[in-house]
Amino acid sequence: MRLRIGIAIGVMLFAVALAGCSAGQSARGPAGTPVPTKTLRPTFTSTSVEPTTAPIATPVPANVATLAPTAEPPTAAAPTDTPVPPTPEPSSTPEAAAFTVTSDVVNVRSGPGTNYSAIGRLQKGQSFPVTGKNPGGDWWQFDYNGRSGWVYGQNVAVTSSDLVQVAANIPAAPTRRPVPTSPPRPTSPPATPVPVTRFAATKSTILPDTNDWVTIYCAVFNRDYSSPLSGTIRVLRDGAVVEEGKAFGKFLTAYLHMPYNDGCKVEMRPASNGTYTAMLVENGQPISDVFTLNVTGTGNRVAIVEFKEK
């Protein structure tokens, strides 16, 4: 190795000495003779190209934008218009609350309750704007001919009921006045109709009797003596029929010596105490006023009654 280096140095020194000699000879030649210039040929020195290692790409975060290199400085991006938010469409106005009558006939009252007075009526299908409600939400207020009217919720259908507020002018509930009670009037039994009769009991004779009989005689005086009577005498005790005499038809005038008509006599045994009533009957219907005899003990057991035609 050292030998090679020495030879190389010697060759270089020799080349330098040779170049110097050539230069000295050129300086000592005639001035007018041009010295030819030796043109040096370009020498090509081969340069070995070593392989280059490709640069390792630095990873770029995904959220960082990579711009390609440009020869010119980047041009500032043109300003863009600020986006104007879309104008919201105006919301539709909520429908006002109203009710429609669903029942055939509905009472309009002065307040929210059946204890308020009725001020009118509505028919099925009528509609009105709602102006308020009661706290319970079962009565609806509206303008009824300039007055505050109320209808019951079950008789109407309401729209937009959630917009209705409790009315501020709800009238106070009316107070019921106590109805004075009067003592019941005494009731009397219905009067028994008095039949229109032909004969009046005008006179009677009452006689005591110790026998165990109650006897009633009748003396009948009619206006037309030529018209004979055909009837009987009926006797009741305390409202129940106890005896009815035989038919009589002779005139008293024919027997003036007798105190009663023939056959117009009733005898009842035993002589029970009570109220006895006697009347003349013809064809089953009373034709005279009623005679009354009260029997107590042994007194007033016999009566003679005169019936005169009216």
More confident residue, 189 or 21: 189
pTM metric for this prediction: 0.36
pLDDT in tens, 113-154: 999 999 999 999 999 999 999 999 999 999 999 999 999 999
Find the mean pLDDT for residues 49-65. 47
pLDDT at 82: 64
Residue by residue, DSSP assigns 138-151 as SEEEEEETTEEEEE
Asked if residue 252 is part of any domain, the answer here is: yes
Distance CA 86, CA 91 (A): 14
pLDDT at 68: 44
Same domain, yes or no, for 224 and 159? no
Asked if residue 257 is part of any domain, the answer here is: yes
Return the number of other C-beta atoms located less than 10 Å from residue 23's C-beta.
Answer: 9
Asked if residue 62 is part of any domain, the answer here is: no
Asked if residue 260 is part of any domain, the answer here is: yes
Find the mean pLDDT for residues 192-217. 80
Same domain, yes or no, for 207 and 129? no
Same domain, yes or no, for 205 and 282? yes
pLDDT at 129: 96
Domain boundary among 163, 189, 213: 163
Q: The domain spanning residue 106 has which CATH number?
A: 2.30.30.40
Find the mean pLDDT for residues 284-298. 86
> Domain range holding 242?
199-309
Q: The domain spanning residue 239 has which CATH number?
A: 2.60.40.10
More confident residue, 72 or 139: 139
Same domain, yes or no, for 209 and 159? no
Q: Please state, for a pLDDT cut of 90, what percent of the chain lies above it.
A: 25
Find the mean pLDDT for residues 250-279. 72
- pLDDT greater than 90 at residue 243: no
Q: How confident is the model at residue 102 (pLDDT cuts 50, 70, 90)?
A: very high
- pLDDT greater than 50 at residue 279: yes
Same domain, yes or no, for 158 and 203? no
Q: What is the chain's percent helix, strand, coil content, to nearest 5?
A: 10, 30, 55
Query: What is the count of structural domains for the chain?
Result: 2
pLDDT at 77: 53
Asked if residue 293 is part of any domain, the answer here is: yes
- In whole angstroms, how far apart are CA 117 and each of 75, 102, 105, 132, 135? 88, 21, 16, 19, 20
pLDDT in tens, 172-195: 988 876 666 777 776 766 665 555
More confident residue, 220 or 159: 159
